[in-house]
């Protein structure tokens, strides 16, 4: 506990895996803003790459659930063979819960290390305000989205930015970050999720889908900060402001094409 801090609330909790936790709430006056770096970052979250940044860096999704799935299935099968109400079934339940706790702890630890580095290295971070609860209703993507823990990632970014004096800007979820060409501003109507690289039908620029989105997210975040609109521009549909991404206006073009030209994908090795 920090020096000269006194607990205001103490909470004792037993989790489903049989572990006891003691949470102590204190007000710590020693938390000071981090030094300014002069850097800004746009972040596009995903499934294959957990995040793609406007620095054109990709952080792989560790997929903690998949990593421990076989162990979890083995414990669940053992549980299904136990007699209800028996001590052996109780022990088997604990073993299943312990695997789930291991998955959760690994996710949380990874995200804490990642978000701390992002907040430490940047003065402003722009992300999309995604409707994650609605997105997990898609049964084909629900497991992958849940395993990626986008909600926890956003939660950690939000409170750490507040703690350490950094700015977090959330872009409207309807902003066409992926479908907009970061070079000329042209917006395509259709860009299916399976197209990871595309060519702008207007200027011919080749785009990595996620890197292009992160550039657009950063430009939109900077524009919102300049206009003093705060972090939740829900009234902006999709982007009625103009700043440049790679020298082009962010304002959507009136003319749109039906679809982008997909680049031929290299086979996975």
> Residue 180: left if φ>0, alpha if ψ -120 to 50, beta else—which one?
beta
Active site (annotated) includes residue 128: yes
CA gap 244, 93 in Å, rounded: 55
Distant-in-sequence, close-in-space partners of 92: CB < 8 Å, separation ≥ 6? 75, 78, 79, 82
Residue whose token pair is 């700015």: 167
Supply 181's token pair: 């060409």
Active site (annotated) includes residue 194: no
Q: Which of 44, 147, 172, 197 is catalytic?
A: 44
Q: Which of 15, 95, 128, 197 is catalytic?
A: 128
CA gap 119, 166 in Å, rounded: 7
| Number of Cβ atoms within 10 Å of the Cβ of 252 | 17
CA angle, 109 then 113 then 115, to 5°: 115
- 70-81: string of b/e by CB count within 10 Å (b at 16+)? eebeebeeebee
Supply 256's token pair: 């749109």
DSSP 18: S
CA gap 106, 148 in Å, rounded: 12
The two most distant CA atoms of the chain are separated, in Å, by 69
Supply 186's token pair: 């042209």
Supply 37's token pair: 């770096």
- Structural contact between residues 84 and 64, judged by C-beta atoms closer than 8 angstroms: no
Active site (annotated) includes residue 210: yes
Q: Which of 147, 210, 253, 254 is catalytic?
A: 210
Catalytic residues: 44, 128, 210
């Amino acid at each position: 506990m920090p020096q000269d801090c006194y607990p205001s609330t103490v909470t004792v909790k037993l989790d489903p895996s049989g572990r006891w936790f003691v949470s102590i709430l204190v007000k710590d006056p020693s938390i000071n803003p981090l030094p300014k770096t002069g850097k800004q970052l746009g972040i596009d979250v995903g499934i294959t790459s957990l995040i793609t940044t406007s620095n054109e860096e990709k952080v792989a999704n560790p997929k903690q659930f998949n990593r421990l799935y076989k162990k979890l299935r083995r414990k669940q099968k053992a549980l299904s063979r136990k007699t209800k109400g028996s001590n052996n079934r109780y022990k088997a339940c604990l073993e299943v819960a312990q695997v789930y706790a291991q998955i959760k702890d690994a996710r949380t630890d990874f995200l804490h290390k990642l978000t701390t580095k992002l907040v430490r290295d940047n003065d402003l971070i722009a992300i999309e305000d995604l409707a994650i609860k609605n997105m997990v209703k898609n049964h084909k993507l629900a497991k992958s989205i849940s395993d990626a823990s986008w909600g926890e990632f956003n939660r950690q970014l939000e409170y750490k930015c507040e703690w350490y004096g950094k700015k977090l800007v959330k872009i409207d979820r309807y902003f066409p970050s992926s479908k907009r060409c970061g070079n000329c501003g042209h917006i395509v109507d259709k860009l299916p999720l399976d197209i990871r690289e595309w060519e702008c039908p207007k200027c011919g620029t080749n785009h990595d889908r996620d890197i292009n989105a992160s550039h657009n997210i950063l430009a939109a975040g900077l524009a919102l900060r300049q206009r003093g609109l705060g972090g939740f521009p829900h009234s902006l549909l999709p982007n009625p402001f103009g700043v440049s991404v790679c020298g082009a206006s962010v304002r959507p073009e009136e003319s749109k094409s039906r679809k982008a030209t997909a680049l031929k994908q290299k086979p996975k090795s």
